[in-house]
Chain A
Amino acid sequence: MTQAEIGDFFLTDALAPAHSAPPRASTRVRRRPRWGRGAILLIVALYFIVPIYAALDFSLQNIQGQFSFSPLTQITAQPGFASAVGLSFRLSIVTLVIEMLLMVPTVIYVHLRLPRFRRVMEVITILPIVIPPIVLILGVLQAARPYQWISSSPYLLAAVYVVLAMPFVYRSLDSGLGALDLKILVEASRSLGAGWIATMWRVLIPNLRSALLSASVLTLALVFGEFTMAQLDLWTTVPVWIYNSSSTNPHVVTAVAMMFLIAMWLVLTIIVSLDRTHRRAKG
């Protein structure tokens, strides 16, 4: 029996009087017009698709405005591109590692031992969104100035990105932990002889898999897309490179932006597929 048949059966059963017309006729009568929903979906789809299509179209044109793949083939030859990608990649990895090392134990501890502190945590983790990035980076640069070893390092940006990504990571982990009977799992693990590290590694982290994956994707997207702080800290990450190159070779720059958009979408799709496959394997 298909889902539609199940739906039809219940709908008919609930509405039709005994010995009435066949179920499908009854269902048709009850069906509400869908054009309103369709129109809304179309408007929303256009809102997202038109700019992407425009960018894609622009990225597949040569300097004369004719259709061409040359912007794509020229990407890797662009000066500074490889180092910008490398820097963004290194920053994203460092950010991700620091973020997880800081946030996973913290959120677990708050859930387990300080549940009343969750409200405060929610407020704290909103601050990076509320505070304008320019204020944040100027404050960080000022504070780091006396310490040459960090103020001259690009990884100062990673420290700032950890703060910026915190709201997304916290919410992702918070909802993941909310779905677990955390206290019981921890106590069961400890009663069987597991210390905190074994409990985290073997019990909690595997059960937070989806939450950790979504937190990771959000962090990667944030690091690869952040412009203001990298620009003010004078490091050429991918967004800064795109900005700097946009006046000299706009078609190639747009092609790069499209490439990253597609790459991020692919990563997201792969992660979601892997997660689904894992869940299906467990039944």
Chain B
Amino acid sequence: MTTDDLLATPGDTATRTPVQLGAPLSLEGLSRTYGATRALDHFSLNVQPGEFVALLGPSGCGKTTALRMVAGFDRPDTGQILVDGVDVSRIPAQKRDMGMVFQSYSLFPNMSARDNVAFGLRLRRQKGASRRQRANDLLELVGLAEHTTKYPHQLSGGQQQRVALARALAIEPRVLLLDEPLSALDAKVRAELRDQIRALQQRLTITTLFVTHDQEEALSMADRVCVMDRGRVEQIATPAELYAHPASAFVAEFVGVSSRVPVDRRGSAIILFDRSVAIRGSAPAQEVIALDALLRPEDIVVHPDTMGAGVVQHRNFLGATTRLEVGFADVVIKTDVRSSESDRFEVGTRVTLELAAHDVLVTPRRVPAPAPAQD
């Protein structure tokens, strides 16, 4: 699919057979060590043609290292990077045909928006008039038709990132790489650009690898999310699957909000709020008796109760909902209520909690860190 196809009117596109622009991407057993730090540890991931996969994880988990390896800016110690079945791990970055949008603004300051977009086309020896036309078309595609002659310093952060996106798309890359492109933008622009990137990606069906530490971005944009920790894959799943069925305590705590509640085991179930609840997913070994249940705020219903054991300790207004932190003797549990009903739950209100889930994720109990010694 060329840019001309992309820019055709809806009537035109309806009559055409969609052609996938993206190539399949396969990362096989990538490892990379920097000194004593293992940035990637046998990392494997398969991305289907046209699929949008987000690499999600905390700082230092190896997600950017993986992306940079795909781009060709870093080499794996071991492992392969296959694009369309061909190992590209030893091919230099400039010969890989990867479009990349960076975290910081990466437009060339000496070039106008149009020249930035046309840069890759110029290197591919595309003729002047068609190159300029195509750059204009791509800028129109990202909503910047009025800004083609402006220089980067005359554009806002969001506009610069959109030019960078158009520039990356101009070369019709086999894989589009997005390295936290939204993290430098303010919340409103970030939300707008997030929707725009996703819409474009779906329209172009371009294989996309997106690095972020923002779970909301990953869940809202990606077809699948790969959660990483310490250079390894923790879980690869659709956003809904990841949220509803986290494969590990790390995923459960990193994606969404969870409260840890110490529970006792009774065979294949646990006792929680005086109820026997099934263990979700694979349970820890039988000999592990002391467990923590990880509870989502939405799995818990809260009721005002003057005889209740819990006390509202803190309220956090989030807009449509208000998050309550309910304190018990040895644990604090987070739960959400509709903001319109939050007046019933002032700080100090006694409450009871009701578990709304049939099963919960458990993990071996976390031993609290010892309190610092006092003089």
| Chain A residues engaging chain B, CB cutoff 8 angstroms | 180-181, 184-185, 187-195, 198, 202-203, 206-207, 209, 282-283
Contacts and interface: CB of A to CB of B under 8 A. Distances in A.
A188 B106 CA distance: 7
Given A191-B100, A194-B119, 6 more contacts: A187-B93, A190-B93, A191-B98, A193-B120, A203-B108, A283-B153
Question: A-B pairs with the 7 shortest C-beta distances?
Answer: A192-B120, A206-B110, A188-B106, A191-B100, A190-B93, A193-B123, A184-B106
Contact of A188 (B95, B102, B154): B102
Contact of B123 (A180, A188, A198): A198
Contact of A194 (B94, B97, B109): B94
Interface string B85-128: 00000001111111110101111111000000001100110000
8 contacts: A184-B102, A184-B104, A187-B93, A188-B164, A191-B94, A191-B100, A207-B109, A207-B110
Contact of B124 (A193, A195, A283): A193
Interface in B3-47: none
Nearest to A192: B120
Interface residues of B, number: 33
A202 B119 contact: yes
B71 interface: yes
Contacts of B72: 190-191
Interface in B264-281: none
Contacts of B100: 187-188, 191
B204 interface: no
A192 B97 CA distance: 7
Contact of B119 (A192, A195, A209): A192
A195 B94 CA distance: 6
B150 interface: yes
Contacts of A188: 100, 102, 106-108, 164, 167
B171 interface: yes
B328 interface: no
Interface string B43-78: 000000000000000000000000000011100000
Nearest to B68: A187
Contact of B108 (A185, A187, A190, A193): A185
A207 B107 CA distance: 12
Given A191-B71, A283-B151, A207 B104 contact: no
Interface of B: 71-73, 92-100, 102, 104-110, 119-120, 123-124, 150-151, 153-154, 164, 167-168, 171, 177
Contacts of A187: 71, 73, 93, 100, 102, 106
B24 to A, nearest CB: 20
Contacts of B96: 191
A70 B288 CA distance: 106
A202 to B, nearest CB: 7
Contacts of A180: 109
Contact of A191 (B99, B151, B153): B99
A185 B72 CA distance: 15
Contacts of A181: 104-106
Given A194-B123, A195-B94, A198-B123, A189 B108 contact: yes
B94 A190 contact: yes
Contacts of B151: 282-283
A26 to B, nearest CB: 37
Contacts of B107: 188
Contacts of A202: 108, 119
A11 B148 CA distance: 41
Given A187-B102, A203-B108, A283-B154, A193 B94 contact: yes
Contacts of A195: 94
A188 B102 CA distance: 8
B169 to A, nearest CB: 11
Contacts of A282: 110, 151, 153
A187 to B, nearest CB: 6
Contacts of B123: 192-194, 198
